[in-house]
Amino acid sequence: MRQKKPRPRFPGLKLKDEDRELLRRKARERLTVRTWKRIRMLQLLDEGKTLAATAAAVGSAVPSVRRVGERYLAAGVEVALKDA
């Protein structure tokens, strides 16, 4: 029987303190579901959750979680929360 590979964590995503606080404040605002999910994705990835666990927690697909994480790493929190 084949051994399961461990699920990959998103590499290198650690939120800056100011980004973490910004996400906390934004999460209290009136938001679209899409924006709320993106905030939660970033928070869960920052906590070290796997892509699959994060996707399951927010009701999204793994590629969507990966895209949000990659956009955060490339351009910051504001870009990661908006549509491409």
Domain boundaries, the chain: 17-81
The more confidently predicted of residues 7 and 78 is 78
Q: Is the pLDDT of residue 10 over 80?
A: no
Tell the burial category of 4 from Cβ atoms under 10 Å away from its Cβ (0-12, 13-18, 19+).
Answer: exposed
Instruction: State the CB neighbour count (10 A cutoff) for residue 20.
Output: 14
Q: 5 pLDDT band (50/70/90 cuts)?
A: low
Instruction: Compute the average pLDDT of residues 22-39.
Output: 95
* CA triple 20-52-14, angle to 5 deg: 25
How many percent of the chain have pLDDT more than 90? 80
Q: Which of 72, 77, 82 is nearest to 22 (CA)?
A: 77
- Report the distance separating Cα 26 and Cα 3, nearest Å: 41
Q: 44 pLDDT band (50/70/90 cuts)?
A: very high
Q: Tell me if residue 7 falls in helix, strand or coil.
A: coil
15 — phi, psi (to 5°)? -70, 145
